[in-house]
Amino acid sequence: MPLIELRNVERSYPLAGGRSWVLRNIDLDIADGEFVSIMGPSGAGKSSLLNVLGLMDHDWQGRYVLDGVEVGTLDARKRQTLQRDKIAFIFQHYHLIDDLRVWENLDLPLQYRDVPAKERQARVADLLDRFSIVGKKDLYPNQLSGGQQQLVAVARAVITRPRLLLADEPTGALHSTQARTIMDLLHELNREGVTIVQVTHNEAFAREARRIVRLSDGWIDKGLPQSG
Amino acid sequence: MLDSLFQDIRYGVRALAARPGFALAALTTLALAIGANTLVFSLIDGIYLSPLPYRDDAKLVDIENQYRNMGLDATGASIPDYLDRREGMKSIVESGLFMGENFNLAIDGAPERAHGIRATPSLFATLGVAPALGRAFTDGEAEPGADRVVVLGDAMWRNRFGADPAIVGRDIRLDGESYRVVGVMPRGFMFPDRETALYVPFAFTPAQKADTERGHEFSTSIARLAPGATIADAENEANLVVRRNLDRLGSIGSDGTRFATFMKSAGFTIDVRPLRTLLAGDHSRMLLLLQLAVGLVLLIACANIANLMLTRLSARQKELSVRTALGASRSRLARQLLIEAVLLALAGAALGIVIAIAGQKLVAMSGLMPDWVALGIDLPVLAFTFAIAFAAGLLFGLAPMLSAGLAKPQQVLREAGRLGGGGRGARATRGALVVAQIALAIALLASAGLLVRSFANVLQESPGFDSRGVLTAAISLSPQKYPDDSAKANVIRRILESARALPGAAAVGLIDERPMSGAISGSSYRITGVATDATPHAFERTVDEDYFKAMGIPLIQGRTFESSDWTSANKVAVVDELFAKKRFPNGDAVGHVLDLDRPGVTGRQYTIVGVVGTTKNGDLGETVSQETFYLDYGQSPAGTLTLILRTAGPPGALVQPLREAVRSVDPEQPLFDVMTLDQRVHLSLTGRRVPMQLIGLFAALALVLAAIGIYGVLAFAVAQRTGEFGVRMAIGADAGRIRRQVLADGARLLLPGLAIGVAGAIALGFVLRSQLFGVGAIDVPSLGFVVAVLGAIALLACWVPARRAAKTAPLEALRYE
């Protein structure tokens, strides 16, 4: 059973005199432990698809089964619980919280999940160590470089041990060396079993995934061969 | 330079016009706060700063006798005192003596009461004001028998005599006598208040000039200081005159010695004070308190607008960075922003003046100010208004700039770029401003709370009589028509009889003062055969046999007066409970003899026949510390008195019947100052009520401004942090957590604000202490209530942005980013 199963998913926005369609008839399965890249020109629906996958958007039609759960039947609270349990995000612009130190940024998702303090401490220390950012733990995000910030953002995403990591152009704001580090990190996480879906404009990084899903005007472009 | 300034002003006006919402919010806040300041300052200006309508008024002084050891600090002056000083003091160039008197003025047969003064001819020269028409009195007219002349006030001349210039030289009837009008005072002149409508000569009899008249201080003396002389010079010289006199009196026989000993032991001295103090009364403390209160309101308003400016500055970073890129210097940018702030403040001042004028009308109606104070917007008030507006503009214009670090534009721009406006410094400043607002609002609200509690406590106080269902009306008998005691007693007896016959009149009495007016005369006394402290002094009142019944004053011991006392040779007195407790702790007051003899006056021994309850004299909040004795009206008739009617039905229904009852006895006798006793009690509370209402109003304003401030800062912070909330929700925060977080942010501002505010409130409580009644400077219930109210309102102000934050859709938030 795939981790993600989308059937005939459609997403549109009301517009004066009609609707604007951003996702059309999406059928997509993503297996547990897969690494998928989503590509396509601007406005193709990449971020919209990521938002549907990440349960950040629920105003769509069709069927979405995540890890055996019919997402469409869930109320907001259950949807949030599901999201909290299974999913984490990485954003192009890191979206760290400026007023919190590095370690506090890592601690926050655990707090939101009511993890006991002792365990939080251990997990934060563990991740700081693993991502080699112990020395930066007391700095504020604006005291870090972009690459370091994204590193912290990835650490913050995986600290909750998600099944699915959704990355929206994770390397988009970074120079090549920093981007490479982040991609290596994603591969490592994937090897450890985390399912990764990344939206990217970078063809080379996209190819590093097992599969590329190409979107065009909201449709999945089925004509192209998938790499893998 | 000037050109670029005008350009900046133009830009400023345009920038304000481009954001009408901001301009409107800021203008409303400023107009209210500046208006309140202008209002209070205009009261101060009206009473203490605006020139009095006399020549060189700063040189005019009031010379008051004082009996320090008796707690009497302004008792006026006697005629010989006045004459001594006039002759013996080089530090004064001119002086005058006057006493108030009510006259019955008859025009076309209808009696009407007119308030006037008897004044020495020198009064006009002392004030430096001559009549506009005719002349003042001459010294020759200040002789008994030659004194039937009158100078009219402008208002009386216009209202009663149609501004007829030919009135000078004609006769008018005062108290049934003909008085020749010799002059009319100029428009705008008033002395000592606007109620004074006419001036007649103060003619001294030889007896009045004698030493025996000393201690009869029913007049007031004023003087003009000599060039170069100070108030202290005059005071020293006047006291020298006193010492010389006492030495002289001490050496002329037993009466003189007794008098000199009494004066010395009473701590008799002279106090010279600015004439303004006599005319204005002491409002200074209350006005300073009000000015302090509105000053705090203005500070709160400045904090609010500084916050608004800061918010706006954040939103304008792009514009400012473009200006910088185009070559605008730091100082030029700062000037631009300051000009906008000052323009805003000045516009607020203009609107504030309108609000102040409306406020002046309300204050004028309240009866708080002396009647001669003309409230208006004169040059000093205008200057004050625009000066505080300018200062406020600088304050709320500079604070955000300094906090936003305009000194280093690159930093501002960098921070602005990162955080979407409002760097950490700006945020800290905004927070500090809100803390300050909450603290100031708490301090003001708590002060208002103390005053309200005091007022409520005062209302609970019993005046010592039952004010419900009682009508009071004053009568002033003409001394010409009723020249002696028996004539007065006869007519009053007939008036009382006809009033008692009125249906609905349950009891009718009289007293020689107006109840709860604070006006009460006193006298030194001894108790025959009982040793007392050096110089006991008591309030002296003359009442009839039904006064106590009409007022509802309880009889505690013995009896009150009886109608037979009027004609009895046995002089009797009733004392109040305080008197009895002080002088007769064993409860044996009845039967003792009250001795009111003093040098030159003998045969005033009164047997105490009863003890009645103690009453308050002018303020429900006063602690009566001076004892009172009552004499029988029939035995000591007075010309001016107040009728007291306890009525079975509504007191108002008896007004007309009472007038007719009086007219049936003497058709020329007017009734005046007609009001219920409840109204008199209410009136006596004006000095407490109006400041309380004003401070309450200002505190409410402060509360609203503080609430707007908290809301504004949190709402702005929430708007700024939409993206952050989106991220938080994306990493697992639910709506409840976001809401709690915003509320906690609000609480972080609220709690220090409350703590500082409570400290400030306690400090203000001590400043207010003299105005409080039945409540200490630290009043836990009212402080707790105020903290709860402000806390609740502040939390409500936090709740709205918190709810908005909790509704953040992560998707939109991140897109917003």
Mutation to test the B interface, candidates A95, A99, A152, most B Cβ within 10 Å: A95
CB contact under 8 A, A51 and B724: no
CB contact under 8 A, B811 and A56: yes
Give the relative orientation of helices B20-44 and B686-720 as an angle to the nearest 10 degrees.
Answer: 160
CB contact under 8 A, B724 and A84: no
CB contact under 8 A, A89 and B733: no
CB contact under 8 A, A97 and B732: no
CB contact under 8 A, A93 and B732: no
The type of residue at B663 is: R
Strand order in the sheet with A195-199: A87-90, A164-168, A195-199, A35-39, A211-216, A219-220
Q: What is the pLDDT of residue B810?
A: 72
Q: How many CA atoms lie within 13 A of B770 on its CB side?
A: 5
Residues of B in contact with A142 (CB under 8 A): 418
- Residue A43 forms contact with B (CB below 8 Å): no
pLDDT in tens, chain A (228 residues): 899 999 999 999 888 888 889 999 999 999 999 999 999 998 888 988 998 999 888 889 999 999 999 999 999 889 888 988 999 988 888 888 888 899 999 998 898 888 999 999 999 999 999 888 999 999 999 899 988 998 899 899 989 989 999 998 888 888 888 889 889 989 999 999 999 999 999 999 999 999 999 999 999 987 554 444
CB atoms within 10 A of CB B213: 20
Count Cβ atoms within 10 A of the Cβ of residue B429 and give its class: 0-12 exposed, 13-18 middle, 19 or more buried: buried
Identify the band that residue B817 occupies on the pLDDT scale cut at 50, 70 and 90.
very low
- What percent of chain B has pLDDT above 70? 92
Q: Distance between CA B26 and CA B21 in Å, rounded?
A: 9
Residues of B in contact with A127 (CB under 8 A): none
Cβ contact A76:A84 at 8 Å = no
Q: pTM for the full model? A: 0.71
User: Which residue from A minimizes the CA distance to B427?
Assistant: A99
Q: Give the residue from B696, B701, B710 showing the smallest Cα distance to B34.
A: B701
The winner for highest mean pLDDT among B7-21, B548-562, B767-781 is B548-562
Cβ contact B726:B817 at 8 Å = yes
Q: Which of B136-150, B308-322, B384-398 has the lowest mean pLDDT?
A: B308-322
Q: Distance between CA B266 and CA B536 in Å, rounded?
A: 9
> Counting one residue from A and one from B, how many pairs have CB atoms under 8 Å apart?
46
Q: Which of B544-553, B672-681, B684-693 has the lowest mean pLDDT?
A: B684-693
How do the residues of chain A divide into helix, strand and coil, expressed in percent and rounded to 5?
40, 25, 35
For residue B90, give both structure tokens: 């080089």
Task: Find all residues with CB under 8 Å of B402, minimum gap 6, and list them.
Answer: none
Peptide bond into B192 cis (omega under 30): yes
- Residue A175 forms contact with B (CB below 8 Å): no
User: Which residue from B minimizes the CA distance to A49?
Assistant: B811
Count Cβ atoms within 10 A of the Cβ of residue B775 and give its class: 0-12 exposed, 13-18 middle, 19 or more buried: buried
Question: Which whole-number Å values give the CA distances from B204 to A22, B120, B143, B196, B219, in the listed order?
Answer: 108, 9, 7, 21, 12
CA distance A109 to chain B (A): 6
Task: Find all residues with CB under 8 Å of B355, minimum gap 6, and list them.
Answer: B31, B32, B35, B36, B38, B39
Convert the pLDDT of each residue in B89-133 to its tens digit.
999 999 999 998 888 887 766 677 888 999 999 999 999 999 999
- Residue A81 forms contact with B (CB below 8 Å): no
- Residue A104 forms contact with B (CB below 8 Å): no
Q: What is the pLDDT of residue B415?
A: 44
- Residue A57 forms contact with B (CB below 8 Å): yes
CB contact under 8 A, A112 and B728: yes
CB contact under 8 A, B811 and A91: no
CB contact under 8 A, A84 and B737: no
Residues of B in contact with A84 (CB under 8 A): 732
The partner residue sitting opposite B814, judged by closest CB among A77, A91, A96, is A91
Residues of A in contact with B419 (CB under 8 A): 98
Query: Does B456 have pLDDT greater than 90?
Result: no
The ipTM value here is 0.79
Average pLDDT over all residues of chain B = 85
Convert the pLDDT of each residue in B705-740 to its tens digit.
888 877 877 777 777 777 888 888 888 888 888 889
Question: Which whole-number Å values give the CA distances from B581 to B577, B585, B732, in the listed order?
Answer: 6, 5, 79
CA distance B707 to chain A (A): 26
CB contact under 8 A, A57 and B811: yes
Convert the pLDDT of each residue in B586-628 to its tens digit.
988 999 999 988 666 778 899 999 999 999 987 787 788 889 9
Mutation to test the A interface, candidates B414, B720, B731, most A Cβ within 10 Å: B731
Q: Distance between CA B582 and CA B585 in Å, rounded?
A: 6
* Largest separation between any pair of C-alpha atoms in chain B: 107
Q: Would you say the C-alpha torsion B352, B353, B355, B359 has a positive or negative sign?
A: positive
Triad B70, B75, B78: Cα angle to 5°: 120
User: Which residue from B minimizes the CA distance to A168?
Assistant: B814
Q: Distance between CA B816 and CA B719 in Å, rounded?
A: 10
- Residue A89 forms contact with B (CB below 8 Å): yes
Residues of A in contact with B731 (CB under 8 A): 88-89, 108-109, 112, 156-157, 160
Q: Give the residue from B817, B741, B431, B416 showing the smallest Cα distance to A96.
A: B817
Q: What is the pLDDT of residue B419?
A: 36
CB contact under 8 A, A109 and B732: yes
- Residue A115 forms contact with B (CB below 8 Å): no
Residues of B in contact with A83 (CB under 8 A): 732
Residues of A in contact with B723 (CB under 8 A): 95
* Largest separation between any pair of C-alpha atoms in chain A: 56
User: Which residue from B minimizes the CA distance to A88?
Assistant: B731
Q: What is the pLDDT of residue B768?
A: 83
Mutation to test the A interface, candidates B424, B727, B815, most A Cβ within 10 Å: B727
User: Which residue from B minimizes the CA distance to A100?
Assistant: B724
The type of residue at A74 is: L
Write out A62-74 in H/E/C secondary structure.
Answer: EEEEECCEEHHHC
CB contact under 8 A, B728 and A108: yes
Q: What is the pLDDT of residue B198?
A: 94
CB contact under 8 A, B731 and A91: no
User: Which residue from A minimizes the CA distance to B724?
Assistant: A97
The partner residue sitting opposite B724, judged by closest CB among A83, A97, A142, is A97
Residues of A in contact with B727 (CB under 8 A): 91, 95-97
CB contact under 8 A, B418 and A112: no
- Residue A84 forms contact with B (CB below 8 Å): yes
User: Which residue from A minimizes the CA distance to B810?
Assistant: A56
For residue A214, give both structure tokens: 């190409």
CB contact under 8 A, A156 and B731: yes
Tell me the mean pLDDT in the region B275-297.
Answer: 84
Query: Does B414 have pLDDT greater than 60?
Result: no
Q: Distance between CA B616 and CA B624 in Å, rounded?
A: 6
Q: Give the residue from B517, B281, B284, B301 showing the smallest Cα distance to B392.
A: B301
CA distance A97 to chain B (A): 6
